[in-house]
A and B are shown apart, each in its own frame.
Chain A
Amino acid sequence: MDIRSQISMVFHLDKCIGCHTCSIACKNIWTDRKGAEYMWWNNVETKPGTGYPTKWEDQSIYKGGWEKSNGTISLRGAGKKKGLLNIFHNPNLPVIDDYYEPFTYKYLDLIESPAMDDQPTARPVSLITGKPIDIKMGPNWDDDLSGTPDYARKDPNLANLSPAEQEAMFQLERMAFYYLPRICNHCLNPACVASCPSGAIYKRGEDGVVLINQKVCRAWRMCVTACPYKKSYYNWHTGKSEKCILCYPRLESGHAPACMHSCVGRIRYLGVMLYDADQIEKMASADEKDLVDAQLSMILDPFDPEVIKAAKANGIADSTIKAAQYSPTYKFVKKWGLALPLHPEFRTLPMLFYVPPMLPVMATLGQKRKGQTEKMDPMAKSWNDDWLYDTTTEDLFGTIDEARFPLQYMANLFSAGDTEKVKKVMKKQMAVRVHRRDVTVGDLSKDKVSSILKGAGIDAEMANDIYNLTSLAKFDERFVIPAAHREQAIELMDFTGDTKGSTGFGFKETPGRGI
C-alpha cells in the first residue's frame, strides 16, 4: 500500500447558476496575458451543448485519453511511439479555431471618433493579428442555447440515445439544460503527464496537483492532444503549454482556489482524499462498466487505523490526515456516494467529481390532472393540453425514469453509460428532498418517508448531513485545505535542512572547515 494524499474537488451541478464568475476570477489572475487570451483554465458549458473547445468530448476527433486493448491501456493519440513519430506535425492537435480566435473591441473609436452622421462603433479586432475580424466563436458561445440544432444537437453525449429520446430533449416545452463548470481534473492517471516527451509535466507528490514546468516544456504539444478534457492549452506566444494549477500558491497558504472562492452558487467543495497509489494502473485498466467503482475503491477511509498507520509511514503529515477526515469531498464521493467523475471512460481517474443535476431531470411532464389544469392560465393551456408539468412528490422514483433528460444522457457523462449508477445518485438526492419536506412541511406519511429513504440507501441522519453540507455549509466546511507545512520547506522546493545549517540570513553559504 502506497498511500498518498490528493486534493480533490466536488462540483454540485444542481447549484450552478451559470454565472461564469469562476471563469472570470481565474482569467483575471492567471490567463490575462498575450498568448493565453483564448485559454479558460476554468470554463462553464451549457449541456446539452458542444462545449469548449467544440465537441471536446468526441475522442474520434481529438484522440485524447487512454484506450484499452488486450487488457492494457495506452494513450489514444499520443504516447512514446505515436508521440515521437508525430513530433514534426501532430495530426491530432486542435488549432485555435477549435477554441475561438481571441478578440477585443476598438473601444477608443467610440471616444475619439470625429463628429459624423452615424454613431461610431467599436469594431472587434483579433487579439492575435490585431486586424478586424468577424467573431465566429467564443468560450461560452452556446451559453443557454440548449435545444438549438447547431449546439445542443451536436453534443457527443447524445450518440447512443434513440432518435425519439433525442427529439424529446429538444421539444420546446420539454427543453432543459444545466451548466457544466470544468477545470483541470488533476487526474491520478494523467494522460498529459504520460504524453509529455520532455517530461515537463508532473504530478506533485504532496498534494497531487498536476503542473507543467515552464522551464522544461519545449512545445512538443502532445499534452494538448492527450488530455481528453482539453485542459492543457498551448500558449502560441511563449511556445509553452499551460494548464490549471489549482491556484497552488493560494492552496499552500491555506486559501481556496480563486474559482472556488468566488463561486456564487457555492457549488464547489475542495478537500483531501487518501488513496492507494499502487492501484492506479490496475484500476485505470478496469472494464468500462467497473471504472467508477474501481476508482472509488482506491480512495481510502481516513478513519481506518490501518490506513492512518500506513499514511504516517509514508510521510503524510498528521494535519493532512486530519484534513482528510474532515474532507467534504470524501463525504460526497465515498461516504454518501453522491458525486461521480466526469467521463470516467477516458481512464485518467479524474479527481474532480460532480453531483449530477436533478432539477431539470425531475421536473417532468406528466399526464393531465384536472385540478391543476383549472389553475393554469390560458396561455399555458394553449400548449398541448394533454400534458403539463408534474412536480408533485407522488411516485418520485417513477419520474426519474421518465425524466426530461434521459438517464442515458447523464450516464454518458458521469458513469460511462451505466444508468443504474446515475439513478442511484438521483434517488439519494430525491430522498434528501423528501426528508426535508417531511421536516419542514410534514405533509408526507412517516411510512412513505422512511421507505423512500430506505429505497435510496440512506437514513434520516445522513440525509440531514447531506442537506447541511449542500445547503448550509460555510466556507470552512466547503474548503478543508491541509497545511502546506512551509516550516519544512522554506521556499517551495527547498528543504529546511539546507538552510538550517547555514551561516545566517541572506545567503546560503554552508559553514565548513577550510574551503
Chain B
Amino acid sequence: MDSFFTALDNFFLIGLPYLALTVFLVGSIWRYRSTKFKYSSLSSQFLEGKQLFWGSVPFHMGMLVVFLGHLSALLIPRGVLLWNSHPLRLIALEVTGFIFGLAILIGLGNLIYRRLTNPRIKVVTNNMDWIILSLLTLQVITGLWVAYNFRWGSSWFASVLTPYVYSIFKLQPDISAVSALPWVIKLHIVGAYTVVVLIPFSRLVHFLVVPINYIWRPYQQVMWNWDRKSVRSTSTAWSIKRPKNN
C-alpha cells in the first residue's frame, strides 16, 4: 500500500510538474505561433456588462494579488520569511491574501452564475470555459481551506514548497518534505499543475499577452510595407531581406 502512495506522490509531484511545464512551454509557443486568430481573452462584456463587473473585477483583482503572493514566496522566500518574522506583519499578509482569495471566490461565483443564467452568455460558453471555471473554483476553495486550517501558509510555503519547486527546476526533484503534507495541500498543488497544463489550450492564454508594452509604446502606429527611404539606398541593393518597417 505504501508503495502505491509513493507511486502516486511520484507521479503527481514529480511526473506531473515536468509534464505540465513541457506541455505549457511547447503548447504556448505552438499556440502563439499557429493559432493567432483564435488567440483572445474572449471578453463577453459586449453581450452583458453589468453582472460581469461583479464577477470579472473581484476575480481578476484577487487573482492578481494572490498570484503575485505565490510568486513572491517562490522568488524571494527569504524576504517573505523576514517580513513574517514580526507576527503583526505576518497576520496582515495572511489576512490580505485571504481577503483577496475570498474576492476570487465571490468573483468566480458571479461569473458562474452569469454563465448559467444569461441566455446570451450561454451562447458564447464552451466546455473549456466550464473546465477552467470549475478547476479555478476548486483551486480557490482548497487554497482558502489551506490558508484557514494550516496556518501560516506564507511562512511554510517559503520554507517547504519553495525548496521543492526549486528542486524541480534544478532537475533534482526532492519531494521528501512535500509528500508529508496533508492531502488538501497536495490537491491544491496538483490543481495548480493542471491549470498550467490547460493554459495553452484555453482562454487563459490571454494572461501570457498582458499588454504591458502599451505603457511605453507611442500612441499612434503607422505601418509600411517596407521602409520607404532605406529601400532606396544602394547599400541594401543585394541584401536578400530588404528593410521593412513592420
Contact = CB atoms under 8 A, between A and B. Distances in A.
Interface string A331-359: 00000000000000000000000000000
Given A84-B215, A96-B47, A214-B37, A203 B222 contact: yes
29 contacts: A84-B211, A88-B57, A95-B47, A95-B48, A96-B47, A96-B120, A129-B120, A129-B122, A197-B214, A198-B209, A199-B211, A202-B221, A202-B222, A203-B222, A205-B228, A215-B39, A218-B41, A218-B206, A218-B209, A219-B43, A234-B46, A236-B46, A237-B124, A240-B37, A240-B40, A314-B228, A315-B231, A493-B225, A493-B246
Contacts of A493: 225, 246
Nearest to A494: B225
Interface stretch (B19-27, B159-167, B237-245): B237-245
B78 interface: no
Nearest to A35: B124
B44 to A, nearest CB: 7
A129 B48 CA distance: 13
B129 to A, nearest CB: 12
A315 B227 CA distance: 9
Contacts of A221: 43, 45-46
B146 to A, nearest CB: 26
B102 interface: no
A29 B243 CA distance: 34
B221 A236 contact: no
A93 B39 contact: no
B206 A315 contact: no
B65 interface: no
Contacts, number: 147
Interface in B110-131: 119-120, 122-124
Given A95-B48, A218-B211, A495 B226 contact: yes
Interface string A73-96: 000000110011001111101111
Q: Considering residues A194, A240, A495, which has the most beta carbons from chain B within 10 angstroms of its beta carbon?
A: A495
B242 A205 contact: no
A163 interface: no
Q: Considering residues B214, B217, B228, which has the most beta carbons from chain A within 10 angstroms of its beta carbon?
A: B214
Given A215-B36, A218-B40, A219-B40, A193 B224 contact: no
Contact of A497 (B119, B123, B242): B242
A217 interface: yes
Main secondary structure of the interface of B (DSSP, over half): loop
Given A80-B215, A84-B211, A198-B211, A93 B224 contact: no
Contact of B46 (A93, A196, A220, A501): A93
A95 B43 CA distance: 12
Interface in A195-248: 196-199, 201-206, 214-221, 224, 234, 236-240
Interface of B: 36-37, 39-49, 52-53, 56-57, 59-61, 119-120, 122-124, 206, 209, 211, 213-215, 217, 219-226, 228-229, 231-232, 238-242, 244-246
A205 B224 contact: yes
Nearest to A90: B45
Given A80-B215, A95-B49, A214-B37, A239 B221 contact: no
- Please provide the 10 A-B residue pairs with the shortest distance between their CB atoms, ordered closest to farther: A315-B228, A197-B211, A215-B36, A205-B224, A239-B40, A194-B219, A239-B42, A88-B60, A497-B242, A197-B214
